[in-house]
Structure 1
Amino acid sequence: MYGASVLELWVRNYSSGNNAPKFLAGLWWNWRARNIVCVGNELIHLFRVVAEVHKLATLIASCFPPRIHIDTPPRWTTWHSCRTSCMVLNVDGSCLGAPGRAGFGGLIRRGSGDWIVGFSGFLGVADNTYAELMIVLDLVTKGYSNFHCYDAVIANIQDLLKLDWEVSLLHTLREGNACTNFLTKLGSKNDTKLSIWDSPLEDMKDLLLSNALRVAYPRA
């Protein structure tokens, strides 16, 4: 005699795999044929049940094709350095919630990865879009602003890019921007509007060394 747990296990085991369409179709037509005979007081021939099971199994298989698992190679990313005498400026912004405590952070390094200066700060309660736009503006102007109009922030950034200097804007993945992410989280958790770091914090030294050695990290 089958218990409820054994019956459930039986259904689960046969409801997956290549033979699942036939099993489910057979289960359905076994129940339906029983109702035709017991409730409808009619006869149903076995060959019809077999034909209906085959037809329903074909329909199920066409509606739910087997999933083909393809192993995609991981995407690797590193810190983006420069091979010339230029400097690399990495910035980021984040919020602890949506909206939540918004902070910014960033640092300037030589192309070799040597630390020049870092910074972090608290923006108040905002969202990620606002925080990430504000950090670019605050960094270039070396000051703290408290605008709440996104259009105005974008316009100011565009005006700064038109000045007499060469600037290249590149997007970097989070895994390749770990040092900046560290400072950003620091800014979100503290109430200080702007902190300047002339030397790297102790907890950042391993991250900086990994960046300087061009250690690659898999993209999550």
Structure 2
Amino acid sequence: MDKDRLTHMSSQPIRTEVDISWKPPPPKWVPLNTDGFVHTDTNHAAACGLLRDHTGCCLAAVASNLGMCTITRAELRGVVEGLQLAWNLEHHRIRVDLDSQCAVQLLSSPDASDHQHATIIHRFSELLRLDWEVTIHHTYREGNNCADFLATAGILCP
């Protein structure tokens, strides 16, 4: 093989396939997958939270029809409603997985008091102050399929 061809081949990016799917939590943690959904034709929104055990079996779920709102608000509502469900069921170590990078950034920011979603972000902060451990993680949509399905179905809730 000549030197030019070798140089050309080495500059090609190496592609790696990655399996994106739901991941079980660490021991003694309960995963909470959340999602928001906005129907493109009507702008009606829904949110959901799905609690599972370490094998992926559903422990509990909540879905809400939110009327009309933004996708970011729907995503944030999914987190808050899912955390409230987890607290009510006395789960004290929660790993939240959601597929909205924007919502993860908002929930991780130290001060969002002047943000348009400040009220719901404040409610999230109040929930974090309870006596429990909560971590927030971004996941890809493929790893959040069940929550995605529930959020879409949430449009049908009264």
TM-score in terms of structure 1 length: 0.49
Q: Is the 8 A contact 2:46 2:151 kept in 1?
A: yes
1:152, distance to aligned residue in structure 2 (A): 1.1
Q: How many residues align?
A: 119
CA–CA separation in structure 1 for the residues paired with 2:29 and 2:17:
31
Matches within 5 A, 1:150-165: 150-165=117-132
Identify unmatched segments of 5+ residues in structure 2: 1-10, 89-115
Q: Which structure carries more helix by proportion?
A: 1
- What is residue 175 of structure 1 aligned with on the other side? 142
Q: 1:137 to 1:98 in 2, by over 3 A?
A: farther
Q: Paired residue for 1:96, among 17, 36, 39?
A: 39
Identify unmatched segments of 5+ residues in structure 1: 1-67, 144-148, 193-220
Matches within 5 A, 1:20-39: none
Q: Which structure carries more strand by proportion?
A: 2
Q: SS of the counterpart of 2:74?
A: helix
Matches within 5 A, 1:1-220: 70=13, 72-97=15-40, 100-142=43-85, 149-188=116-155, 190-192=156-158
Q: Is the 8 A contact 1:99 1:126 kept in 2?
A: no
Deviations 1:104-161 (A, max 9, x none): 1221111121221122221001111010011112222349xxxxx5011111101211
CA–CA separation in structure 2 for the residues paired with 1:177 and 1:169:
14
Of 97-106 and 126-135, the range deviating more from structure 2: 97-106
TM-score in terms of structure 2 length: 0.66
